[in-house]
């Protein structure tokens, strides 16, 4: 006779093993009823147990090996341990909520896809702030308004790690450099140049005249002022030397080109003269050696009261003076006006 039914009392306690239960054969409806909100887990001995149900706002946390997890409240200060998560990710925007993100010296904020970051911002403990831009340009963009950078007594821009490009000095000027050497700076009066520097006109075309050769395209000097001429040479009787009641002069220098003018009034008028005079203390020496050389200027001279017989046949700047060959006779001369243009 075939076995058509098995009574519960006829099954031994250890007869139904895991191997005799088909996979996916038990659904929640076959499970023993439990308490609402409880979660099935295992205790330290490996036996099934339940935890819960917890209260509103609690989260399920691990209590470590040897004990089942538990429902616990989130600490009032927030999540206390994000160090253990080595790959945290945000599911949305991070709102600072009026607080700050604090980084210690050496800690960095990195942007970009490179392993080290295309752009890195950090503080190294000694420098106020470091921005490393590994690839591309570092652009500061302002759709409207002004980009403002505040600094202390000096704000500098370096290239090649430690080579000055621009220095902005508090309560002072702005210095501009080329290849690490200062070229110009602002001053209270405008633009200032160090000695030997100036406006470089080399980008413009040079002369194309036959036989002409450009020698210099740097405008490195401008100056204007006054000077006091004196008569230091008289190849005639010599009594012009020291015979000066008053003297005044003006000059302008642009590059190496100098323009001078002067007036000398004699203490004692002269009724005749026919030789050479030297007017010294010119603002800049002429461009030739002290022993003489090629004349690098031109000048003119006239008497204050203009005797009708007054003649000149040589008026040129020399190395340290303005020289004039003059003649008059029969009329008093009380002094001279003169001027010259020469190369310093």
DSSP string, 29-89: GGSPP--TT-EEEE-TTS-EEEE----TTEEEE---TTS--EEEEPPTT-----SS-SS--
The whole-angstrom separation of Cα 180 and Cα 163 is 5
Confidence of residue 57 (pLDDT cuts 50, 70, 90): confident
Same domain, yes or no: 337 and 234:
yes
Same domain, yes or no: 231 and 274:
yes
pLDDT at 62: 83
Same domain, yes or no: 107 and 180:
no
Whether residue 126 lies inside any domain: the answer is: yes
pTM equals 0.59
Whether residue 276 lies inside any domain: the answer is: yes
Number of domains in the chain: 3
Same domain, yes or no: 270 and 321:
yes
Tens-place pLDDT, residues 127-167: 767 777 777 777 777 777 777 777 678 888 888 878 999 99
Q: Give the list of residues 6+ apart from residue 188 with CB closer than 8 angstroms, or none.
A: none
Q: Give the list of residues 6+ apart from residue 140 with CB closer than 8 angstroms, or none.
A: 147
Confidence of residue 307 (pLDDT cuts 50, 70, 90): confident
Token code pair at residue 112: 């970009």
pLDDT at 80: 56
* Confidence check: pLDDT of 1 > 60: no
Whether residue 51 lies inside any domain: the answer is: no
The whole domain housing 267 covers: 223-343
Beta bridge partners of 272: 329
Same domain, yes or no: 232 and 329:
yes
SS3 172: coil
The Cα-based distances of 256 to 287, 290, 342 in angstroms read 9, 18, 8
Beta bridge partners of 309: none
Nearest Cα to Cα of residue 225 among 199, 261, 193:
261
More confident residue, 73 or 236: 73
Same domain, yes or no: 323 and 241:
yes
Share of the chain above pLDDT 70, in %: 91
* Confidence check: pLDDT of 319 > 80: yes
Mean pLDDT of all residues belonging to the chain: 84
Beta bridge partners of 274: 327
Same domain, yes or no: 250 and 312:
yes
H or E segment and range at residue 317:
strand 311-317
Whether residue 4 lies inside any domain: the answer is: no
Whether the ω angle into residue 83 lies within 30 degrees of 0, i.e. cis, is no
The whole-angstrom separation of Cα 195 and Cα 136 is 38
Same domain, yes or no: 227 and 292:
yes
* Confidence check: pLDDT of 174 > 80: yes
Same domain, yes or no: 239 and 326:
yes
pLDDT at 265: 95
pLDDT at 230: 93
More confident residue, 5 or 317: 317
Tens-place pLDDT, residues 233-289: 888 777 788 889 999 999 999 999 999 999 999 999 988 888 899 999 999 998 875
Whether residue 93 lies inside any domain: the answer is: no
Same domain, yes or no: 127 and 182:
no
* Confidence check: pLDDT of 16 > 80: no
Same domain, yes or no: 233 and 300:
yes
More confident residue, 286 or 4: 286
Rg for the chain, CA atoms, rounded: 49
pLDDT at 144: 77
Whether residue 172 lies inside any domain: the answer is: yes
């Amino acid at each position: 006779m075939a076995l058509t039914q098995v009574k519960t009392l006829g099954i031994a306690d250890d007869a139904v093993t895991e191997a005799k239960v088909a996979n996916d054969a038990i659904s929640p409806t076959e499970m023993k009823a439990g308490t609402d909100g409880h979660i099935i887990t295992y205790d330290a001995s490996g036996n099934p147990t339940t935890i819960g149900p917890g209260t509103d706002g609690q989260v399920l946390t691990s209590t470590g090996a040897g004990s089942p997890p538990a429902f616990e409240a989130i600490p009032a200060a927030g999540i206390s341990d994000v160090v253990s998560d080595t790959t945290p990710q945000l599911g949305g925007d991070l709102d600072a909520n009026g607080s700050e993100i604090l980084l210690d010296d050496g800690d960095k904020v990195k942007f970009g896809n490179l392993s080290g970051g295309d752009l890195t911002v950090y503080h190294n403990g000694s420098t106020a702030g470091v921005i490393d831009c590994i690839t591309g340009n570092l652009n500061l963009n302002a759709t409207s308004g002004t980009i403002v950078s505040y600094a202390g007594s000096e704000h500098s821009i370096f290239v090649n790690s430690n080579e000055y490009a621009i220095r902005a000095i508090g309560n002072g000027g702005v210095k501009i450099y080329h290849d690490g050497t200062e070229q110009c700076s602002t001053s209270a009066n405008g633009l200032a140049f160090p000695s030997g520097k100036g406006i470089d006109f080399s980008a413009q075309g040079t002369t194309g005249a036959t036989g002409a050769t450009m020698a210099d395209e740097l405008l490195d000097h401008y100056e204007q002022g006054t000077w006091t001429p004196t008569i230091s040479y008289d190849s005639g009787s010599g009594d012009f030397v020291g015979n000066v009641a008053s003297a005044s002069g003006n000059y302008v220098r642009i590059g190496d080109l100098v323009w001078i003018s002067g007036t000398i009034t004699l203490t004692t008028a002269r009724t005749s003269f026919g030789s050479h005079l030297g007017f010294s203390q010119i603002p800049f020496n002429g461009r030739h050696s002290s022993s003489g050389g090629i004349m690098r200027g031109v000048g003119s001279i006239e008497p204050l009261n203009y005797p009708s017989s007054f003649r000149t046949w040589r008026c040129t700047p020399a190395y340290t003076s303005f020289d004039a060959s003059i003649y008059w006779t029969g009329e008093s001369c009380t002094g001279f006006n003169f001027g010259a243009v020469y190369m310093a």
